[in-house]
Amino acid sequence: MSHDTENRQYEQRRVEKVVEVINNKEENLEARSAGLKQSVVELRKTFWDDVTVNLEEMDDIIETQESIKQQAAILSQKEQFHGKISAEIQTLQRLRNAPYFGRFDFIEEPGTEKESLYIGIASLMDQDEEDFLVYDWRAPISSLYYDFSPGPAHYQTLDSTISGEMTLKRQFIIKQGVIEGMFDTGITIGDELLQQALGNNASTSMKNIVATIQKEQNKIIRNERSKLLIVQGVAGSGKTSAALQRIAYLMYRYREELHADNIVLFSPNPLFSSYISNVLPELGETNVRQMTFLDYLKNGIGGNLTIESPFEQMEYVLTQTESEHYPIRMKNMDYLSTIDFMQLIDAFTSDLNGSGIQFKPIKFRGRTLIDQGQIGEYFYSLDKEIAIPNKMEMVSKWLLQELSKYQQQEIAEDWVMEQIELLDKEDYMRAYQRAEEKMQSSTVQDEEKILRRYMVKRFFQPLKKRVKQFAFVNILATYQQLFTEWNTKELPNNWQDIRAQIATDLSQKFLTWENATPYLYFKGRLLGDSADRSVRQLIIDEAQDYSAFQFAYIKHLFPYTRMTLLGDVNQAIYTHVAKENPLIPVEHVESHERITLTKSYRSTKQIVDFTTYFAPGHEPIEPFNREGSKPELINLQNENEWMTTVLTCVEEQLKKGNETIALICKTLEESEQIYHLLQDKLPIHLVNEETYTFEKGVLVLPIYLAKGIEFDAVIIPDASADHYSLESDKSLFYTACTRAMHALTILCRQEISPFIKLVPKELYDVKE
């Protein structure tokens, strides 16, 4: 018997023993869980039977309260224990299929015994709970597996650095408890494992990469020291996957103090949020708060204004070039995205401390109680040295005091009794009970008085709530003054053109995407920012698409939060607004670190080689050695054959077994056109801004909604020069091409894009 066969048999026997331990543990836990669940159900049923209730004397009341507390604590403890057992069972179920994916042998000191350690998605102890059968991939010692080849190695514990020698590094592909692949490797992760992992069809969700984490990705995952971690990663380099594993690692490392509610992930769109939603649950962690930056702005601004989405802005930029307002709008995008504009808002706000803030009257039942002039007079009577948000708090308290006076006056008004007569039985009884509680003798007069107070209080409550929310401040009207009346020496040269267009938009209660963040920033300068100080970790994906203003605003909101920025300057599709890209190295930023990922794992070597020639940035791109067919260019001689050719390309990819085929268009307008032409000819899904779930099949979508997602095959329906020729189009075209894992087909209806002409002809096949 060969040495390899002996090793394989030994490892298979070990897998079987580990699976046996898993099954035994699960069986024991299931029995305990069933008993505990029954105990919880019984305790809920008999809760009050075991509580001593006596409310006659104060001592008895205290004793009753303690009895209830004690019984509730017992119930809570049992429920928590039941939840813990359920979580352990779920972990065992995840481990049963593939208990581990790696092994390394480590000798801590010369002369000491070799120790074999196995790495999986969770830790597993033996039946006696004495020794580890599997180490969690996030444990300190597991870093050896990702960071070192056989030879000298070390890892960091909480207290010190442990050094030694790695004598073996072995990788496994285990499915349903059977070893399907096993090999020893001298590099971080063997090509064989990656080839198998990457050679499969694209999934409808992001893959869990813990078994194939590379050394450079591990640096991202285990980075704990940087307040600002900047990750520049080429398309398909696994930066988003590594960021999600980073979240899982941090939640494991700081499990006593860092929870899902303390972490926020800004994703590029709802479809992408769906695409990555399974990664953390697969690792046994709760999903963190995910939202788009658009959602965040909408929550802060409120529902009284219409906000343009970044995708609507992009659609405007790509389709409205002939509009007479287009040049002015582009200037607006440029200027409103800068730090200069943020400083202009600061100067404007500073001037408002002397005059100019617009207020709204306080009205009750159609009549004005306190007009805007009175509110303004009170505000500007306060000390100018007090910050504006603090003065707003003082105005709010003053208004609440004034409203309390009006509330008293309203009690005797006729409308109150009319409203009392309209009360339903339940409300009437509630008011009557309160009357009895507050009055020793319940005369008709006493009851009416209490009911009147109850009714007036009920009507004034919403008004007082709005006052506490500073609804008396007319933020929009005040902001409009920046673009209509206010002047300063610091205004930009083309300010007259800029301000006119924005003033028109604001008069229609419309915020363009480039103006949404400045508006919310201004609102915070007036009322105070309501930032969530509980956020400990903020991850921003596709960070290259954030403007300088947006990124500065995020830093302003989360001054004490550790941030991870992920992106690719090659895919900066919003280049017209991102003049100062946050991914570009930052000077004078305390405790920041920059990690660059240059190897692309998503696409075949042929696709990466092709796209490298028109990548907009200057970052090097290394293809992973996974072979495939060359990209195909179809240069149509007859434009009438265009749609027939597109249909043929889709059918060819389906025959090859590709499960996700994307027709990636430049705009939503183009996507909708192709969808309507093809929908009767084959099953096809149109992806738009409202698409929240990623599905397999044939999809048609604009480039800006394809970011971060991979497809088995990509078809670009029109890569003619009239579609992709401007410098700003280069990022769009590069992004579209790099979504492809296995096959890339490009159609040209007219003259081919100049970007394709940059690629040596031997790197793609031409089909006339």
CATH label of the domain that carries residue 725: 3.40.50.300
Residue-wise pLDDT tens digits, 24-71: 988 888 877 665 555 655 555 555 455 454 444 555 455 555 555 665
566 and 614 co-located in one domain: no
17 labelled ligand-binding: no
Is the four-CA dihedral 39, 42, 47, 51 of positive or negative sign?
negative
Tell me the residue range of the domain where 45 lies: 3-97
Longest dimension (CA), the chain: 103
619 and 592 co-located in one domain: no
pLDDT band for position 270 (cuts 50, 70, 90)? confident
Q: What is the pLDDT of residue 41?
A: 54
Tell me if 728 is assigned to some domain: yes
Tell me if 229 is assigned to some domain: no
635 and 727 co-located in one domain: yes
Residue-wise pLDDT tens digits, 148-171: 889 999 998 878 889 999 999 998
CA distance 115 to 271: 45
303 labelled ligand-binding: no
235 labelled ligand-binding: yes
Helix 3-45 vs helix 58-97: crossing angle, to nearest 10: 160
What residues does 473 pair with on adjacent strands?
359
pLDDT at residue 120 tops 70 = yes
Q: What is this structure's pTM?
A: 0.86
- Mean pLDDT throughout 653-669? 94
Tell me if 585 is assigned to some domain: yes
CA angle 606–608–613, rounded 5-degree value:
105
284 labelled ligand-binding: no
298 and 405 co-located in one domain: no
Amino acid of residue 539: I
Tell me if 174 is assigned to some domain: no
CA distance 617 to 583: 12
Q: Rounded to whole angstroms, what are the CA distances from 180 to 17, 175, 187, 311?
A: 17, 7, 20, 45
574, 597, 620: which is the final residue of a domain? 597
Token digits for 488?
Answer: 């300063």
pLDDT band for position 714 (cuts 50, 70, 90)? very high
Residues with Cβ < 8 Å from 242, sequence gap 6 or more? Answer: 209, 213, 217, 220, 221, 231, 597
Residue-wise pLDDT tens digits, 179-214: 988 888 765 555 555 656 655 666 666 666 777 788
* H or E element at residue 580: none
CA distance 129 to 545: 50
Tell me if 376 is assigned to some domain: yes
Q: Rounded to whole angstroms, what are the CA distances from 401 to 450, 464, 473?
A: 21, 10, 17
642 and 706 co-located in one domain: yes
**E-assigned strands of 598-717?**
599-600, 622-623, 632-635, 660-665, 685-686, 697-702, 711-716
DSSP 3-state of 471: coil
Is residue 684 within 8 Å of residue 678, measured between CB atoms?
Answer: yes
73, 97, 121: which is the final residue of a domain? 97
Amino acid of residue 301: I
534 and 454 co-located in one domain: no
638 and 749 co-located in one domain: yes
Tell me if 460 is assigned to some domain: yes
The larger pLDDT score, comparing residue 84 to residue 18, is at 18
Helices (H) and strands (E) in the chain, counts: 26, 26
639 and 740 co-located in one domain: yes
DSSP 3-state of 439: coil
Is the four-CA dihedral 264, 267, 270, 274 of positive or negative sign?
negative
Highest mean pLDDT pick, 30-34, 143-147, 196-200, 621-625 = 143-147
Residue-wise pLDDT tens digits, 493-548: 888 888 989 999 999 999 999 999 999 999 999 999 876 778 999 999 999 999 99
Q: What is the pLDDT of residue 577?
A: 54
- Mean pLDDT throughout 693-709? 90
547 labelled ligand-binding: no
Residue-wise pLDDT tens digits, 390-404: 999 999 999 999 999
Alpha-helix residue ranges (DSSP H) falling in 386-443: 388-410, 414-421, 425-438
Is residue 473 within 8 Å of residue 525, measured between CB atoms?
Answer: no
Residues with Cβ < 8 Å from 270, sequence gap 6 or more? Answer: 292, 689, 690, 691, 692
Residue-wise pLDDT tens digits, 574-592: 755 545 666 665 554 556 7
Token digits for 650?
Answer: 């889709």
Residue 606: which of 580, 583, 625 has the closest Cα? 625
Strand order in the sheet with 660-665: 685-686, 697-702, 660-665, 711-716, 740-748, 632-635, 765-767
CB atoms within 10 A of CB 306: 11
Is residue 566 within 8 Å of residue 239, measured between CB atoms?
Answer: yes
Residues with Cβ < 8 Å from 605, sequence gap 6 or more? Answer: 623, 624, 625, 626, 627, 628
Counting residues of the chain whose pLDDT is more than 90, the rounded percentage is 51
725 labelled ligand-binding: no
Q: Are strands 306-307 and 510-511 parallel, antiparallel or unpaired?
A: parallel
**Arithmetic mean of pLDDT over the chain:** 85
576, 597, 618: which is the final residue of a domain? 597
Q: What is the pLDDT of residue 735?
A: 94
240 labelled ligand-binding: yes
Is residue 703 within 8 Å of residue 268, measured between CB atoms?
Answer: no
The larger pLDDT score, comparing residue 315 to residue 440, is at 315
Is residue 292 within 8 Å of residue 266, measured between CB atoms?
Answer: yes
CA distance 464 to 97: 58
pLDDT at residue 727 tops 70 = yes
Token digits for 7?
Answer: 């090793």
What residues does 263 pair with on adjacent strands?
537
Tell me if 254 is assigned to some domain: no
CA distance 281 to 213: 18
CA distance 410 to 398: 19
- Mean pLDDT throughout 720-726? 92
CA distance 279 to 273: 11
Q: Rounded to whole angstroms, what are the CA distances from 110 to 113, 164, 167, 531?
A: 9, 8, 12, 54
Alpha-helix residue ranges (DSSP H) falling in 641-760: 642-655, 668-678, 727-737, 754-757
710 and 621 co-located in one domain: yes
Q: How many residues does the chain have?
A: 768
Helix 605-612 vs helix 727-737: crossing angle, to nearest 10: 180
Q: What is the pLDDT of residue 586?
A: 52
The larger pLDDT score, comparing residue 421 to residue 368, is at 368
640 and 730 co-located in one domain: yes
CA distance 486 to 480: 9
- Mean pLDDT throughout 75-98? 75
pLDDT at residue 256 tops 90 = no
Q: What is the pLDDT of residue 581?
A: 64
Q: How far is CA 50 from the centre of its chain?
A: 47
The larger pLDDT score, comparing residue 123 to residue 431, is at 123
609 and 570 co-located in one domain: no
236 labelled ligand-binding: yes
Q: Are strands 537-540 and 161-175 parallel, antiparallel or unpaired?
A: unpaired
568 and 681 co-located in one domain: no
Q: What is the DSSP string of 139-190?
A: SGGGHHHHH--SEEEEEE-SS-EEEEEEEEEEEEEEETTEEEEEEE-SSSS-
Q: What is the pLDDT of residue 538?
A: 95
Residues with Cβ < 8 Å from 440, sequence gap 6 or more? Answer: none
CA distance 632 to 645: 13
CA distance 541 to 267: 5
CA distance 226 to 404: 51
Tell me if 582 is assigned to some domain: yes
Q: Rounded to whole angstroms, what are the CA distances from 616 to 731, 732, 739?
A: 6, 10, 16
- Mean pLDDT throughout 232-258? 89
34-37: long-range pairs with CB below 8 Å, 24+: 36/78, 36/81, 36/82, 36/85, 37/82
Token digits for 3?
Answer: 């040495």
Q: What is the pLDDT of residue 451?
A: 79
What total of structural domains would you count in the chain? 4
Give φ, ψ of 186 to 5 degrees.
-110, 0
User: Rounded to 5, what percent of the chain is helix, strand, coil?
Assistant: 50, 15, 35
